[in-house]
Structure 1
Amino acid sequence: MARKKQDRKQGQQAAATPATVAAGRAGVAFTTHAYTHDPAAPSYGEEAAEALGLSPEQVFKTLVADVDGTLTVAVVPVSASLDLKALASAAGGKRATMADPAAAERTTGYVRGGISPLGQRKRLPTVLDASASGHATICVSAGRRGLEIELAPDDLAALTGATTAPIARV
């Protein structure tokens, strides 16, 4: 698979998506990683990790869940599953289920497999898995399939207003 790596500094937005625009406007350091997306790939996150030669523990997927009637974003490593009970607890709710994909796309402004925690149409409550703090940088979707954004976990948490909690299950 073809791979391109582009360093982004404040204000540069060559691979502009709402996610990269949001990171650029905030002035955080980030790098974008582009790769050729295979529509037949069974897992978007695992495909990204493999294409970019990164550990699946460093590449995070963005999932949208419904916590007691409120759409909530969960950001977990692609090597793990989302623990819905832990997410509900971290979000201050009682019960969580995966959101309807159409509702997730409509609310975030992104398509499934390209949902980014950054630059969403409507800012949703966000919970970042605690394992992110074990990495200097992590990758999340940059807003389209085949494009990842790499940034410090603290920057991601600050930009999204995320709570950090152990919500992943290996």
Structure 2
Amino acid sequence: MPARALADFLDNNGVNYHCYNHAPAVTASEVAQSAHIPGRHMAKTVIVDVDGKLAMAVLPANQYLDPEKLRQALRANRVELASEDDFKDCFPLCEPGGEPPFGNLYNMNVYVDDTLLSEDWLAFNAGTHTEVIKMGMGDFLRLSQAQACAFAMLH
């Protein structure tokens, strides 16, 4: 069962979504493979520190985050990957690394890479390392209040 707050949030907003169980996997690429989801549709959430404030960067599982590109896109002074110690208490009821890409549930801004916007649906961790949620891109953008910009780079 996905994190209760996430399921309630999606249900209360009338979102059509599907939850899938898969073999335990930690990295977004492993999750995509285990859940039989193309890497371009599997969104990974990377927690970043943007000028001292935690935020979520959401990008395809088959790409890497380029902090410098995100810094430039946001016109920020500093963007760096947050350490797990920085955010370990921010996601109650979620396994570390299983955070869903809805920063608004956790008082964080969400930035989504432009390359995801070309897809009509995406999948993401549902708070655990054994469940993913698949939903339409339009619903994701509306509910996550994500700001689109370019910050991903290919492997």
TM-score (norm 1): 0.81
Structure with bigger RCO (C-alpha 8 Å, 6+ apart): 2
Which residue is equivalent to 1:46?
A: 29
The number of residues matched between the two structures is 152
For 2:15, the equivalent position in structure 1 comes to 28
Deviations 1:50-108 (A, max 9, x none): 11212111101011000110101000111000011222233341211111212222123
Tell me which of 111, 114, 118 is aligned to 2:95: 111
Please report the RMSD computed on the Cα atoms of aligned residues, expressed in angstroms.
1.8
**Unaligned 5+ residue runs, structure 2?**
none
Whole-angstrom CA distance in 2 between matches of 1:81 and 1:151: 22
* Percent identity for Structure 1 against Structure 2: 21
Q: 1:156 aligns with which of 125, 140, 144?
A: 140
Comparing 140-149 and 86-95, the one that deviates more:
86-95
Give the letter for the 1:142 counterpart. A
Aligned-residue offset at 1:121: 5.4
User: Residue 140 in 1 paired to residue 127 in 2?
Assistant: no
8 Å CA contact 2:2–2:127 kept in 1: the answer is: no
Q: Secondary structure at the match of 1:32?
A: strand
- Between 1:121-130 and 1:109-118, the stretch displaced more is 109-118
User: 2 CA distance for matches of 1:89 and 1:155?
Assistant: 27
Query: Which residue number corresponds to residue 101 of structure 1?
Result: 84
- SS of 1:55's equivalent in the other structure is coil
Gaps of 5+ in 1: 1-14
Relative to the length of structure 2, the TM-score reads 0.88
